[in-house]
Structure 1
């Protein structure tokens, strides 16, 4: 009936993006080492722990990736038959490579589901299953899970709730006839799409905020205990232990929480109103 692909770009060269938010060079060995640490401790364990394993995870790396990282990636993914790794010639060919693989491997399926996750973020172990529960043979329907959590990991651990409409965890259900896939548009461009279902009753993602984020800053809020989440968001044993023992107490950041709460709600309300008023150019 359908194939489901979770798709991640990793270290693809992009001519429009060459520095971090701290003006440090991207795609150096130091950058890759830091990104691999995030991937191994946050993203990878959360995806491989999915209760519903009826999906393939497509990981796209650059052909210039250092051999030592290629070997590390191979060792990490080798025992997971539903993980496929690709080494390609930068961002300009990324979309074509997705189309090529899906076109070759999903010819017999009437529908596709494609989802995205960044290589430094995490998802609930129910994420894949909840996306697939939205499937009802739609011709074209985006799935936007608005509610999640956010975790700052450097310089200290802070955990909070977050709402983010048109976020980087968006999925697309579509007929397998010249499919576009979820990577046809950048995630924030889905605000222009009318055929979209917004899921608001569950928190199914965990965005990770660290020093080398290109754009994001920590904007979580609320008094959240890691012990309430760690059975659903599966991270490495090392990080799980550190979060259990070293998470910043709410009393030390309650004022930031209040400011973040007001900011997150304001941004969400603003986007919803703009959409209803037709300010966004709808497709």
Structure 2
């Protein structure tokens, strides 16, 4: 594939969500510190380990990010040369698609002296700041992408959830996961993947599903997720992992689960978590109905 530009997009601490999944406020000092810790432990090493190197990683930060964190952010380029921090004001965040379109054009103009010529492709892949990609995920995407008229979504079908508090791993087949990629003609109407909610994207554009024997993304389920938890819906098939696994293939050699713990958690934790999550969903649905 020729004449393309590929951007990995991470929305770090933009003013998009006021509360996490426990209704606790986001963007507090404690929340921000924890986010940086999770990012440095999982997300940053996984992108630095990518076997493909011809992409750019735009990490979007709030312009109000405190100076100590800005200094921390500045150090990430040494870990991952493809990393680029972008700071947006509240006004820029309010029109995020337009702001990101301008940023991408500015990055390419600075690098090449001009934006891509006509008939080029823009590829944008979403990665949350507390998740990770397999080291060959971007390489696999690029092997599968084919030029075509119009826009197209690509979905890496299989991935994992890792529950940090229980140190438990679950494999997933998840069609409309939040690691989607949008391929579109590079013109004045580019949208980028952030213009699409991952829960609806596959209904809005033609979608190609990329299946592989091993999961290619890792969703970290931790105490401060905005919404991530055990997923119970028709779009998801949860697949027990009943053997030990290391994550060196994600650039995370220190992350590992044992077969013994996986068996125990699958037999005892998973049914309990399923019931608790289902009850929370039901209470939330009833509360919304009462408000109506």
TM-score where L is the length of structure 1? 0.82
Q: Does 2:212 correspond to 1:204?
A: no
**Is the contact between residue 145 and residue 199 of structure 1 (CA under 8 Å) also seen in structure 2?**
yes
Q: Matched residues in 2 for 1:135 and 1:244: separation? A: 33
Instruction: Say which of 135, 138, 149 aligns to 1:128.
Output: 138
Q: Describe the shift of the 1:134–1:221 C-alpha distance in structure 2 as closer, same or farther (beyond 3 A).
A: closer
Q: Matched residues in 1 for 2:241 and 2:206: separation? A: 35
Q: Does 2:242 correspond to 1:231?
A: no
More moved, 17-26 vs 214-223: 214-223
Count, aligned residues? 254
Q: Describe the shift of the 1:77–1:224 C-alpha distance in structure 2 as closer, same or farther (beyond 3 A).
A: farther
Q: Describe the shift of the 1:259–1:191 C-alpha distance in structure 2 as closer, same or farther (beyond 3 A).
A: farther
Instruction: Say which of 193, 206, 219 aligns to 2:204.
Output: 193
**Is the contact between residue 63 and residue 87 of structure 1 (CA under 8 Å) also seen in structure 2?**
yes
- Deviation, 1:157, is 0.6
Equivalent residue number for residue 218 of structure 1:
230
**Is the contact between residue 243 and residue 258 of structure 2 (CA under 8 Å) also seen in structure 1?**
no
Give secondary structure in 1 for the equivalent of 2:22.
coil
Q: Does 2:101 correspond to 1:102?
A: no
Structure with greater strand share of residues: 2
Instruction: Say which of 7, 10, 30 aligns to 1:8.
Output: 10
Equivalent residue number for residue 44 of structure 1:
44
| Pairs within 5 Å for 1:237-256 | 239-240=254-255, 243=256, 248-256=261-269
**Is the contact between residue 151 and residue 218 of structure 1 (CA under 8 Å) also seen in structure 2?**
no
Q: Describe the shift of the 1:22–1:176 C-alpha distance in structure 2 as closer, same or farther (beyond 3 A).
A: same
Q: Matched residues in 2 for 1:246 and 1:195: separation? A: 39
Equivalent residue number for residue 75 of structure 1:
75
Q: Unaligned regions of 5+ residues in structure 1, if any?
A: 262-283
Q: Describe the shift of the 1:80–1:213 C-alpha distance in structure 2 as closer, same or farther (beyond 3 A).
A: closer
- Deviation, 1:188, is 1.2
| Pairs within 5 Å for 1:117-196 | 117-139=127-149, 140-154=151-165, 156-177=166-187, 178-196=189-207
**Is the contact between residue 59 and residue 85 of structure 2 (CA under 8 Å) also seen in structure 1?**
yes
More moved, 47-56 vs 109-118: 109-118
**Is the contact between residue 169 and residue 262 of structure 2 (CA under 8 Å) also seen in structure 1?**
no
- Deviation, 1:252, is 3.7
- Aligned CA RMSD, in angstroms, stands at 2.5
**Is the contact between residue 50 and residue 137 of structure 2 (CA under 8 Å) also seen in structure 1?**
yes
- Deviation, 1:172, is 1.0
Q: Describe the shift of the 1:209–1:94 C-alpha distance in structure 2 as closer, same or farther (beyond 3 A).
A: same
Q: Unaligned regions of 5+ residues in structure 2, if any?
A: 110-114, 232-237, 275-292
Equivalent residue number for residue 269 of structure 1:
none
**Is the contact between residue 157 and residue 175 of structure 2 (CA under 8 Å) also seen in structure 1?**
yes
More moved, 251-260 vs 165-174: 251-260
**Is the contact between residue 148 and residue 205 of structure 1 (CA under 8 Å) also seen in structure 2?**
yes
More moved, 207-216 vs 120-129: 207-216
Equivalent residue number for residue 273 of structure 1:
none
Q: Matched residues in 1 for 2:201 and 2:216: separation? A: 19
